[in-house]
Structures are given as C-alpha cells and as structure tokens.
Chain A
Amino acid sequence: MNVIEAIGLGKRYGSTWALRGCALAIPAGHVAALVGPNGAGKTTLLNLAVGLTAPTEGMVTVFDGWPAGSPAALDGIAFVAQDAPLYRNLSVADMLHLTRNLNRRFDQGYAEARLGQLGIPMGRRAGNLSGGQQAQLALTLALARRPRLLVLDEPMAMLDPLARHDFMAAVMAAVADGGVSVVLSSHVLAELERVADYLVLITSGSVQVAGEVDDLLACHRVLTGPAAEAGSYAQRLDVVNARRGGAQVHLLVRTNGRSGSAPPGWEEHPVSLEELALAYLREPGAAALPGPSRARAVEPAEVTNWQR
C-alpha cells in the first residue's frame, strides 16, 4: 500500500508554480524524509497530502485511493504543521480534550502517560510551554489519535539539539510500537539520516529523487581520481555530480548495483545519504526515480549529467 500517491500534481499561487508535474508514491511502513531546499515545495506537497490545500492540477490520494482531505484521509492521518501550532490559551488538558472530541480515536491514557513521562504539566497553558515541550505536546496529540500515517512538516526547525533528539526518539518509538508510517520534511538532511529509510528529494517544485535509502545508497558510489581523466570516464559512467578538489575530482556516479566499476588509479567509496542528496541538489537536472512498478505515472526522466 502507498500512504501517499500523487499524479501530475501541481499547485500554483498566483502566477508561481510551487509544485508542478509532481509524481510520487510513498509506500507504507517507512519513515520517509522529504528533503529539499527552502521554497522547493515541501510544505506545499504536505499541505496537499493532508488536504489543507486543493491542487491546481493533478491529484493526490492517500492509503491507496482516498482523496486527500476526505473523511477517511483525515481519520487516518495525523499532521503536525511547521512550528507545531497549538491554542496558546488552552491548557494541556484542554488541548487533549479538544483533540479527543475532534477525532474518532483518541488514546487518552497513552497521551497522559507520555506527557507525564515528559514532565509536561496538564494544567499549564500550551503557550507557556517551552518550544520543545510544545513540539512534544503536538506530537503526543498526533500519536494519541493512533494514525496510520504521521505527517510532520519541519518538525525540528524550532528545537534545540537535545529537544530534536528527544523528538525523533519519540517518533521512532511510535514507529517501533506499531505500524505507523511517517513522512517528515526537513531542509536539514543530517538530522534525518539516522531515522529515515525512504528519501524523497524535492527541488524547485518537482520530485528529483525518490526511493528507499538502502537502495539509493547501494546504487551510488563516489569515485575519486585525477581530474584530467574525468572527462573520458564521464561518457561511460552515469555521473550525477562532479566536485573538484585541486587535481582530484570526486564523481558521484550511479552504479545501479554494479560495483568495482572504478577505473585503475581511481578510488571507490560508498556514499553517505547526505553526500547523495547534496549531489542531486547541486544538479537539478539529474533524477533518480523509482521504476514503473512503484509509480507508473513517472515519466522515464532519467537524466545523466556531465557538467563541468
């Protein structure tokens, strides 16, 4: 099952397309990281997926075919928006009460226990909690709904490093506990590297890379060798991005499973997720998208780039 599917999805604000021709299928059971520079369309894509925004063109569905924003979709998705908006003048207990009233399922016992562990007092106003506590409260409210899909938009932007760690630990604990899929966006990939097992890279309004992290890492290598030879190998190899460092050049290449493709005199390294993402972000024309079995709507847009 795919938790989010998009076909030809586009959203225009005025004359600017925030998202265009977006095709995507995120399978269930993953912690999917939606990564891209600021303004790439991450928030727009998430708003479309949770039904806050109506698409200008195309469509987005959740849980294999439910339209985003439909009752079934609202019922199954818990969304924590950027900066974790809460009613500042309501107490923590009131926020729980409110969320319980607005949803079919709400695990009051779980919410109270978790807030107790976190030391968040039930009587305190949400606006008087620290940033980290507010994020944790928002996450608790979302998880207590027992969602099938948890969508987090820049969940850690406002948090200090300790709070980030605690927040992600809570998300991972929920994933470990039982069957919730997670889609979370960030412009800081480093903090997702440890937790995400599915990567969606989005740049200037469209999906550039999508796939399971293990697959992506297995399919890419960094080759380091003399810069002078780079040009001749570029014909042969599927080069995503080249970086020069003095006389050496680092080529990030797509090996598609074949290893040992390094020419004599070249070194081959495994790639880190961050390196991989940065390489694609530097080359907006390159794309690594899943094959037709996952998202038929994706056009065969495998572009190989060899730019200086």
Chain B
Amino acid sequence: MAALTTARPGQDAGLRPLPWRRMTWVTWRQHRLALAGVIALLSVAAAYLLITGLQMHQAYGAVSACRPAGSGICQQAASNFLGTYAPGVGVTLGVLQVIPALIGAFVGAPLLAREFETGTFRFTWTQGFGRVRWAVAKLAPLAVAVAVAGGAFTLLVSWYLQPVFGAGDDDGPLYPTRFDFLGVALAAWILAAFAIGVLAGVLVRRVIPAMFATLAAWAGLAFVTGIFLRQHYEAPLVTSSPNIPASAWVISQGWFRGGNAASLEMIDHTLRPVDVQAVTPDLFQPGPATPANFGDPVRYLIQHGYTQLTIYQPASRFWPFQWIEGGWLLALSLLLIAATVWLVRRRATQ
C-alpha cells in the first residue's frame, strides 16, 4: 500500500549533484552578449583614454624634462600643462563614473529579471541541476568577470593620470572622481553595482524597472559614499597653515578670527582697503586700486588676524582608504548576492 511518508533526506545524499562544469557552457552561451557589451563599453572608454593619454604623456614629457627642476620656469611649465589638460581629465573621469552603473543595469539587473519576465524560470528551475546551484553558477563567474574587467581598466586609468599627478596637481588621488578609478575601487564599485542589479532583478522581476531601480540605488550609494562617508574612513587632519600638503584631499576650508567663524562680509570688509573683493571665502578678485605689490590675499588676511582652518585627508592615506572602501563594498556585494540566492531559493513564484 502506498503510504504518505515523510521526507527521506538521507537518501537524497545518494543522488550526487550534477558537476558545476555543466553550467559553464550555459552561463557563457546566455551571457556572452552581455560580457561582449562590457568589453565593448570598456574598450571604447579605453581607446579614448589611450589617445588622449598619449597626447598628454607627450606634452608632459617636455614638462618633466625641464631643468633645473623646481625653478620658476619649470613650475610655470607644469602649471601650463595642468591648465591645458586637468579640466579635460576631470570631465572624462566624470563621464566614466557611469561605467559601474551601466554594468549593474545592463548585466546585473536583467540576469534574473528576464527569467521572471519571460517565465523561463519555470523551465530552468525545474531542471535537474537545481535552482540554487544554478543561481550560484551564474552569479559567481559573472561577478568575477565584471570585477576583473574593472580591475584591468583601473591599470589604464592609473597610467592615464600619471602626468597629472606628476605635474603636482592640487587634486590628488583621493579626489572624488579619481579615487573611484584607482586602486581597487573601480572593481569594487562594479561588483557592487552588479550585485545591486541582480538583487533588484529578483525583487522587481521585470527588466526595465529593475534597471532603473539599479541605477537609482547605485547613484544613491555612490553619492552618499563620495559626499559623506569616505571622508570619515580616518579622522581628517586640520591645519591652520596656508601651505596645505600637495595632493591632499581638501574636505572643507574656513576662515576664523578670534576663535569664531569669519563671515564673507567680514573678510570682504578687511580686504576693502586694498580693493580686493572676496567673491567666496577662497576666491578673491583684485580691483583697479589694488597695489601692484599686494601679493597674496590669504597671507594678507592672516597678517590681519585671521586664521584659515583646512580640514583634509593627506594623499598618503590613499591605500588605506582604497582597502577600506574596497573591503566594505566587497562585503556588501557578497551580502547582496547571498540575499539574491536566498530569494531564488525562497520565492520562485510569488
């Protein structure tokens, strides 16, 4: 007689799971287009960096050959070089910020959302391989692939930025748009965007909304990190010296007089005898009556009892900051991917 019996998990162990390598072809066949898209995106960006970078390296060759180094002429040459190239570098890196977002939205988000949208999860998740291992076998190699691609791209950006740092640009490697493209940060951000994408896909279950959710979540995370979080990885340094260490990341600067913050009106008032207008606390506009030998308004203000306090992160903290940011992004990514796999296991149908 057929009886209703409880599960026999012990015998399940006898059925050995299908080997992981079975998924190699599946993952490759189904995601080679997405991977080709990532390669194409990074190749276009790389080609641009290579062309402009070669020009920049050539121009910098003349600057670095200048002798005697540190002389007025050489400083002027470096300054001219930065005046010519630094703004373009800033714009380029600003535009490239979207790379992790695009990878998250176009590779991560559709990965599971498309299965739900087209109903193919009902086909795939009822095959012998098992859906949890299927999800792991897709997520893990793709996560590694996009992160490695990001790491390779970082090498190019590091080369691209060499002349700018070499010429002693004020904005060092900690500066927001640069920090994300150096060290381990880009790989970590791409990984995080991918993880956000796959989780959004399993939650939203439709491709286009999942892509937008990914973009929004990534933008929020990147914004909060860049504006609020990163400057607190280590307690920032404060100096009253007008000579801020080169390449430091200046977080904020302010004028103080007699222990209190000095307003723009006070600064402007102090500078009026020499006909200098304080447009902002660190932008000064000389007028027609400014003495020819006036010199530096910052020094003038200090001579008149002001103190300029600068809160900054020294460039020497670049690598500790990279490891901190890379570390928590990696942890976050693993957490999001684990949550995705858990949801695949839990909620096949709603």
- Residues in chain A within 8 A of chain B (CB atoms): 1-2, 5, 7, 13, 25, 27, 47, 50-54, 59, 61, 64-67, 70-72, 74-75, 77-79, 81-83, 85-88, 90, 94, 97-99, 101-104, 138, 145, 293-297
Q: Are A90 and B29 in contact (CB under 8 A)?
A: yes
Size class of the B contact interface (CB-based, 8 Å): 35 or more
Q: Are B122 and A1 in contact (CB under 8 A)?
A: no
Q: Are A74 and B127 in contact (CB under 8 A)?
A: yes
Closest CB of chain A to B114's CB: distance in Å?
Answer: 9
A98 / chain B contacts, CB cutoff of 8 Å: 25-26, 29-30
- A259 and B15 CA atoms in complex are apart in Å by 51
Stretch at the interface among B3-11, B193-201, B227-235: B3-11
Q: Are A51 and B126 in contact (CB under 8 A)?
A: yes
Contact partner of B124 among A61, A71, A102, CB < 8 A? A102
Asked if B289 lies at the interface with its beta carbon under 8 angstroms from chain A, I say no
Q: Are B123 and A72 in contact (CB under 8 A)?
A: no
- Residues from 203 to 225 in B contacting A, C-beta threshold 8 Å: none
Asked if B23 lies at the interface with its beta carbon under 8 angstroms from chain A, I say yes
Interface string of B8-22 (1 = CB under 8 A from A): 110110010110001
Secondary structure class of chain B's binding surface, majority of residues: loop
Interface string of B113-129 (1 = CB under 8 A from A): 00000111111111111
Closest CB of chain B to A135's CB: distance in Å?
Answer: 13
Q: Are B7 and A70 in contact (CB under 8 A)?
A: yes
- A104 and B129 CA atoms in complex are apart in Å by 8
- Residues in chain B within 8 A of chain A (CB atoms): 1-9, 11-12, 15, 17-18, 22-23, 25-26, 29-30, 118-130, 134, 346, 348-350
Known contacts A13-B350, A25-B2, A65 near B7 by CB under 8 Å: yes
* A to B CB contacts below 8 Å, 21 in the list: A7-B4, A13-B350, A25-B2, A51-B126, A52-B122, A52-B348, A52-B349, A67-B7, A67-B9, A74-B126, A74-B130, A85-B122, A99-B127, A101-B23, A101-B129, A103-B129, A104-B128, A138-B123, A293-B1, A296-B3, A297-B4
B5 / chain A contacts, CB cutoff of 8 Å: 61, 64-65
Q: Are B29 and A102 in contact (CB under 8 A)?
A: no
Q: Are A294 and B348 in contact (CB under 8 A)?
A: no
Known contacts A65-B8, A71-B15, A81-B119, A50 near B26 by CB under 8 Å: no
Q: Are B17 and A71 in contact (CB under 8 A)?
A: yes
- A198 and B116 CA atoms in complex are apart in Å by 32
Known contacts A74-B130, A102-B134, A81 near B122 by CB under 8 Å: yes
Closest CB of chain A to B214's CB: distance in Å?
Answer: 22
Closest CB of chain A to B132's CB: distance in Å?
Answer: 10
Q: Are B7 and A87 in contact (CB under 8 A)?
A: no
Q: Are B127 and A61 in contact (CB under 8 A)?
A: no
Known contacts A50-B126, A79-B126, A102 near B2 by CB under 8 Å: no
Closest CB of chain B to A243's CB: distance in Å?
Answer: 37
Contact partner of A295 among B4, B23, B122, B346, CB < 8 A? B4
Q: Are A61 and B4 in contact (CB under 8 A)?
A: yes
- A175 and B29 CA atoms in complex are apart in Å by 33
